[in-house]
Amino acid sequence: MWPTGSTGIRVTLVAGLLLFTLHLFPQESALERQLKLPGSSIKASRALGEVSKLTGYLFTYDSRIINPDRIFAVPAAEMKLQEILDSVAGDPAIKSAVLGRHIILYRETAMPPRPEPPADSLPVFLSIGGKIVDAENSEPLPYATIGIRHRGKGTVTNFNGDFVLRISEENLFDTLTVSYVGYVNRLLPVRSLPGNVMTITMDRDFIPIPEIIIRAQDPLMIIRKTISAVASNYGTTPAMLTGFYREGVYRKKEPQVYSEAVVKIYKSPYARSLQNDQIKVIRSRKIENLEAKDTLAVRLKAGLSATLSLDGMRHLFDFLDPESFNTYEYHLTDIVTIDGQTAYVISFRQKSWVTEPLMQGDIYVNVDNYSVVLAEFEVNPLYVDQTGESFISRLPRDYSMKPEYVRYRARYRLVDGRYYLAHVRGDLGFSARGRKRVFSSPFNVFFELAITEHSTENAVRFDHEELAPVYSIFSQTISGYDEGFWKDFDFLKPEEDLVEALGKLKVRLGEFNE
């Protein structure tokens, strides 16, 4: 369990397809609309801006296929919107699709032709990817949830808002969903994405809720209903999850140890069950930037175990446990949209008379079915220094550490009426100082699990010899760096600064350039 009980922390941590064709009636109406652009010639970038002003539509496209400086002639008469978009692109291979208030410009990539495959052949995969940003300020949206609608497949964006997802031919006519707290869900036809690296904008969704409505709600009653609805929301049958796990230790912003793995997780039922969750490592690799002269080598304790503990609906968080209600204050602070759902935001923090390090943060609870869709919390900064060395391997005797922050995040994704674990992350910041040293060294440690696929079929427990040593130091269970690590598995796209840092170590990063 992470953190350990010795710290005094009282928290237990932590079908049909919806087919999008590109010839729906609303789209035909929009693209047939007659518009008049100013002047006798115009730049592509200005033309798109004028279309947005005249119609209210926003554009999503791969900046590599649209030349903003392209100039084309404007007729004296009005022209159809489709004709304007054809002139902007200057390439008949670039298609247009209208979804909601967005127009998508893309180059369609077909699956590679192949003869009738043998019955036992493996599927052909394509990679899709892009960047998720705020529509108003273009700021990246970290940890946005990406999924194939009605299928147990998805990922999350990294801290830079980037994502990569591998799809098979059967996914081409499905729909990609993008969700983020407080934003309107985005839907995109999957077949518009292969071969294109889209910058996908997200619109904020403001819910005007009178303050009197928020005040009338009892947050503890909401939490009690949440606890009673766990089994119905998260499932009474086991599931098999596939996920991408990574963890890292940074010293002065330089990676010391970086490890990652593709894992299978047997997720036991959320109803009362004596079964525990299990993890099996499919592929793993690590990179170490340690030299013999390094006397201070920090490693994360039991990161795999921590990811299981952070499933707060399976292992009830302390702040959701009725036995702990008297140690916390709860307030309903907002109502937001998340994953196309309306959710209460319940903020909590320890009561003033409690002096041990408890958690504080926000829980997002669906207003209709009382499911927790997101929890973001941290150890109370006033008492975080009491957590000691609970999160890392033992430091050398002549070193001491001072924790500065401990933060967690757990996110769930709704697929066909059932919620599945989607993403968990933990971050720890601390400084280490030798007894004879004037200055301390800053460290940042993190672990992260993104669930990329899940299924309730053939969900059977692993044999004992297959189990990962979840309570061990993960990086010490890996032998080295495997250049063929990814194969056909999904992974979390690394952040730009991580790629840059690992590049300095002369690590081959072919897999990172998807």
Least confident of 22-36, 121-135, 200-214: 22-36
Q: How many CB atoms lie within 10 A of CB 29?
A: 11
**Helix, coil or strand: residue 95:** strand
Tens of pLDDT along 385-416? 877 666 665 565 666 777 889 899 999 999 88
The better pLDDT of the pair 350, 16 is held by: 350
Identity of residue 480:
G
Residue 98's pLDDT band, with cuts at 50, 70 and 90, is confident
Average pLDDT over residues 181-194: 88
pLDDT at residue 262 in the model? 87
Residue 229's φ and ψ, nearest 5 degrees, are: -100, 5
The better pLDDT of the pair 318, 390 is held by: 318
Residue 391: C-alpha distances to residues 3, 236, 406, 441 (Å): 6, 32, 9, 17
For the sheet with 197-202, list strands across it.
162-168, 125-134, 197-202
Residue 209's pLDDT band, with cuts at 50, 70 and 90, is low
pLDDT at residue 292 in the model? 40
Instruction: Find all residues with CB under 8 Å of 405, minimum gap 6, and list them.
Output: 378, 379, 381, 384, 427, 428, 429
pLDDT at 373 over 70: yes
pLDDT at residue 17 in the model? 26
pLDDT at residue 497 in the model? 73
Q: Give percent of the chain with pLDDT exceeding 90.
A: 28
Contact 478, 286 (CB under 8 A): yes
The better pLDDT of the pair 52, 169 is held by: 52
Residue 305's pLDDT band, with cuts at 50, 70 and 90, is confident
pLDDT at residue 28 in the model? 52
The better pLDDT of the pair 509, 380 is held by: 380
Residue 454: C-alpha distances to residues 9, 46, 487, 512 (Å): 32, 44, 19, 24
The alpha carbon of 102 is separated from its chain's Cα centroid by a whole number of angstroms, namely 23
Contact 422, 414 (CB under 8 A): no
Q: Are strands 102-107 and 58-61 parallel, antiparallel or unpaired?
A: parallel
pLDDT at 113 over 60: no
pLDDT at residue 58 in the model? 85
pLDDT at 424 over 90: yes
Identity of residue 260:
E
pLDDT at residue 131 in the model? 93
Exposure letters 83-102 (e unless 16+ CB within 10 A, then b): ebbbbbbeeeebbbbbbeeb
The better pLDDT of the pair 479, 152 is held by: 152
Residue 362's pLDDT band, with cuts at 50, 70 and 90, is very high
pLDDT at residue 399 in the model? 66
Number of residues written out for the chain: 514
Q: Which helix (H) or strand (E) holds 260?
A: strand 254-267
Residue 103's pLDDT band, with cuts at 50, 70 and 90, is confident
**Helix, coil or strand: residue 228:** helix
What mean pLDDT is reported for the chain? 79
Least confident of 106-120, 134-148, 233-247, 439-453: 106-120
Contact 125, 167 (CB under 8 A): yes
pLDDT at 110 over 80: no
pLDDT at residue 474 in the model? 60
The better pLDDT of the pair 4, 56 is held by: 56
pLDDT at 130 over 50: yes
Token readout for 470 is 């979840």
pLDDT at 480 over 50: no
Residue 107's pLDDT band, with cuts at 50, 70 and 90, is confident
What single string gives the DSSP state of each residue in 293-356? Answer: T------BS-HHHHHHHT-TTTTT-GGG-GGGGGGEEEEEEEEEEETTEEEEEEEEEE-TT--S
pLDDT at 479 over 60: no
Place of tokens 């935001």: 345
pLDDT at 183 over 50: yes
pLDDT at 60 over 70: yes
Place of tokens 């390090």: 357
The better pLDDT of the pair 298, 496 is held by: 496
Angle between helices 81-89 and 44-55 (to 10 degrees): 160
The better pLDDT of the pair 17, 336 is held by: 336
pLDDT at residue 211 in the model? 54
Q: Which long-range contacts (CB under 8 A, 24 or more apart) does 401-404 make?
A: 401/430, 401/431, 401/432, 401/433, 402/430, 402/431, 402/432, 402/433, 402/440, 403/379, 403/428, 403/429, 403/430, 404/429, 404/430, 404/431
Average pLDDT over residues 6-22: 33
The alpha carbon of 364 is separated from its chain's Cα centroid by a whole number of angstroms, namely 16
pLDDT at 434 over 70: no
In whole angstroms, what is the distance from residue 68 CA to residue 66 CA? Answer: 6
In whole angstroms, what is the distance from residue 286 CA to residue 308 CA? Answer: 21
pLDDT at 72 over 60: yes
Residue 111's pLDDT band, with cuts at 50, 70 and 90, is low
Residue 162's pLDDT band, with cuts at 50, 70 and 90, is very high
Tens of pLDDT along 220-256? 999 999 999 999 999 999 999 999 888 888 887 777 7
